[in-house]
Chain A
């Protein structure tokens, strides 16, 4: 099997069977809270996909630098790398906020509510950490080069999250028109819905034990 086919299968796995929300819960806290306003879903999903791609590229650049310095990937290094990703994301957030506010004020007014949580969430930070941990050989072996691979991984994670967002949006629309017991309305119903979807997605991956 060619490197490209192998990579596309990996990307599809990230979208469906290893969807970061349903298999690892990454991004669930933001999604459950944003679920309060389903109109924000699309904006947030698109922004998050963009930032996941950027975050993966940052992760790739950092891995390149650290590999050049001969620093390996142990648990302590994983934490160090994650904290460096985090600082980069903070700078990216401040930059995005400043640039959008000054040069694209209308767009900024549209996305101001969801911008902070599109960057500072566990999906955007978790994607490059997860990729660095699971998949360094696949990235380096990809014929298009590590950079392109990082972009595609970021895109796959983002699209997987978008899929989760769309499923949530539809589910919440249905849930809100149901006559549920008072104790289950709102957050508990959403958690149940995510749980049932996660159960279905875990059947895709065929996994039976641990995250």
Chain B
């Protein structure tokens, strides 16, 4: 390496941050073990993501915890990026969003139940094909009812309606959680996940409807200034990013408060 690159002024931003973090660690935290220091460097310099938040292989073992995790702690959209395409494409109004949320929820419950009960005995390639075929069959049966009663909403959702079968909401959730757990836990996880997904998609749908049409669920709210570009894909990505960051921060604060509370309880016991 040339000498000039060793000078802090010539180093890239990334290297400078890692260097300053290391110096901080050595000066301020000399008492720490080597392992902890390395972990601190990685965390501070943001070298790696928190990978454990993705693909939760085992997850909660009890149904109530699995249900709660599906809504908050392991929300499919905000923590696993599942179903983002449905939110981007179909959540233009509350009605469309509710329809997609209901159909996706039903497919999730059926697929996770089947995965936990039967499909977990199959080889992985066949298992994935089974999820897709099952969800396609259920969607076809549902569409017979939906086209008779909600044809306008289904037409408004358009090409995104059949795409529900192949989103990770159905396949990933079944593959990462349902096959490792009992049918009851799998159904609880699917219901929680469906509610979590539904909450996010309906909220985004309401926001987009309000900004583009001035209504929420068809009710006019007296908004006079509109933002038609809210119906474009970029708006949803940006809004989801903010939700996602907010949810992570909220959970981090909750966990910190819970840990502090537990520590205080322990000290009181002593």
The contact of A79 among B79, B143, B244, B249, by CB within 8 Å, is: B143
* Contacts A195-B241, A198-B234 given; does A186 touch B53 at CB 8 Å: yes
User: In the complex, are the beta carbons of B166 and A120 less than 8 A apart?
Assistant: yes
CB distance from A196 to the nearest CB of B (A): 7
User: In the complex, are the beta carbons of A191 and B125 less than 8 A apart?
Assistant: no
User: In the complex, are the beta carbons of A192 and B92 less than 8 A apart?
Assistant: no
* Contacts A86-B165, A192-B238, A194-B237 given; does A78 touch B229 at CB 8 Å: no
User: In the complex, are the beta carbons of A78 and B159 less than 8 A apart?
Assistant: yes
User: In the complex, are the beta carbons of B89 and A97 less than 8 A apart?
Assistant: no
B29 at the interface (CB under 8 A from A): no
Q: Would you give the 0/1 interface string for B65-90, flagging 1 where the beta carbon is closer than 8 Å to chain A?
A: 00000000000001111111101110
A170 at the interface (CB under 8 A from B): no
Contacting residues, chain B, for A180 (C-beta < 8 A): 46
User: In the complex, are the beta carbons of A125 and B163 less than 8 A apart?
Assistant: yes
The contact of A126 among B129, B159, B244, by CB within 8 Å, is: B159
User: In the complex, are the beta carbons of B166 and A129 less than 8 A apart?
Assistant: no
* Contacts A32-B84, A186-B53, A188-B245 given; does A125 touch B166 at CB 8 Å: yes
Those of B148-200 within 8 Å (CB) of chain A: 151, 154-155, 158-159, 161-163, 165-168, 171-172
The contact of B233 among A25, A36, A187, A189, by CB within 8 Å, is: A25
CB distance from B144 to the nearest CB of A (A): 9
User: In the complex, are the beta carbons of B166 and A25 less than 8 A apart?
Assistant: no
Complex CA gap A176/B47 in Å reads 6
B246 at the interface (CB under 8 A from A): yes
A26 at the interface (CB under 8 A from B): yes
Chain A contributes a number of interface residues (CB within 8 A of B) equal to: 64
B252 at the interface (CB under 8 A from A): yes
Complex CA gap A25/B165 in Å reads 16
User: In the complex, are the beta carbons of A24 and B89 less than 8 A apart?
Assistant: yes
Total A-B pairs in contact (CB under 8 Å)? Answer: 207
A135 at the interface (CB under 8 A from B): no
B132 at the interface (CB under 8 A from A): yes
User: In the complex, are the beta carbons of A29 and B237 less than 8 A apart?
Assistant: no
* Contacts A176-B46, A186-B49, A191-B244 given; does A75 touch B154 at CB 8 Å: yes
B41 at the interface (CB under 8 A from A): no
User: In the complex, are the beta carbons of A208 and B163 less than 8 A apart?
Assistant: no
Chain B contributes a number of interface residues (CB within 8 A of A) equal to: 71
The contact of A94 among B88, B129, B232, by CB within 8 Å, is: B129
User: In the complex, are the beta carbons of B162 and A125 less than 8 A apart?
Assistant: yes
Q: Would you give the 0/1 interface string for A186-206, flagging 1 where the beta carbon is closer than 8 Å to chain B?
A: 111111101110110010000
CB distance from A203 to the nearest CB of B (A): 10
User: In the complex, are the beta carbons of A126 and B238 less than 8 A apart?
Assistant: no
Complex CA gap A179/B21 in Å reads 11
Which of B110-118, B133-141, B215-223 sits within the interface? Answer: B133-141
* Contacts A86-B165, A125-B162, A183-B248 given; does A25 touch B45 at CB 8 Å: no
User: In the complex, are the beta carbons of A202 and B233 less than 8 A apart?
Assistant: yes
Contacting residues, chain B, for A199 (C-beta < 8 A): 232, 234, 238
Complex CA gap A76/B159 in Å reads 11
User: In the complex, are the beta carbons of A33 and B80 less than 8 A apart?
Assistant: yes
Contacting residues, chain B, for A208 (C-beta < 8 A): 228-229, 232
B236 at the interface (CB under 8 A from A): yes
User: In the complex, are the beta carbons of B129 and A90 less than 8 A apart?
Assistant: yes
Contacting residues, chain B, for A36 (C-beta < 8 A): 49, 51, 54
CB distance from B197 to the nearest CB of A (A): 12
User: In the complex, are the beta carbons of B88 and A25 less than 8 A apart?
Assistant: yes
Q: Would you give the 0/1 interface string for A82-123, flagging 1 where the beta carbon is closer than 8 Å to chain B?
A: 110011011001100110000000000000000010001110
Most chain A beta carbons < 10 A, residue from B81, B143, B163:
B81
The contact of A210 among B44, B92, B168, B171, by CB within 8 Å, is: B92
User: In the complex, are the beta carbons of A188 and B232 less than 8 A apart?
Assistant: no
B126 at the interface (CB under 8 A from A): yes
Q: Which residues of B contact A (CB under 8 A)?
A: 12-14, 17, 44-51, 53-54, 78-85, 87-89, 92, 125-126, 128-129, 132-133, 136, 139-140, 143, 147, 151, 154-155, 158-159, 161-163, 165-168, 171-172, 212, 228-229, 231-238, 240-242, 244-246, 248-249, 252
A-B contact pairs, 5 of them (CB 8 A): A25-B84, A25-B88, A82-B162, A179-B17, A210-B92
The 7 nearest A-B residue pairs measured at CB: A25-B88, A195-B237, A82-B162, A191-B241, A198-B234, A177-B14, A195-B238
